[in-house]
Structure 1
């Protein structure tokens, strides 16, 4: 009579923690899809904007404004 014994023993605390991690991971994936870009993508875009601003400032025809001394 195979399979008539007790089922697999599981640790309920570990099972709860695993389920909580899975739920958190799913919520994070939903938020990422809803709100867009990763931190790396935001930082890369900020860097590109800063480089473009520096490029334009360096190629300006008028002298940079100086404060009153």
Structure 2
């Protein structure tokens, strides 16, 4: 026989797992120090300048 599943508990467990995943993403996105954010911003700016310098002019 199949195992009996309480749908309310299963739905709540699924919601908890989704919220946990969302929290993990937000921690990675917003949980950085000011120095880390500035370093990442400077690296992105450097990469953009480097890419722009490689464009061929008409």
Q: CA RMSD in A?
A: 1.5
Runs of at least 5 residues in structure 1 that lack an aligned partner in the other structure: 1-5, 42-69
Q: 1:22 aligns with which of 17, 22, 27?
A: 17
Q: Greater helix share, 1 or 2?
A: 2
Unaligned ranges ≥5, structure 2 = 34-58
TM score, norm. by length of structure 1:
0.44
Which 4+ residue blocks in structure 1 deviate beyond 4 angstroms? none
Output one character per residue of 1:8-32: Cα deviation in whole Å (capped at 9) or x when no partner.
Answer: 1110000000000110011000000
Greater relative contact order (Cα < 8 A, sep 6+): 1
Larger radius of gyration: 1
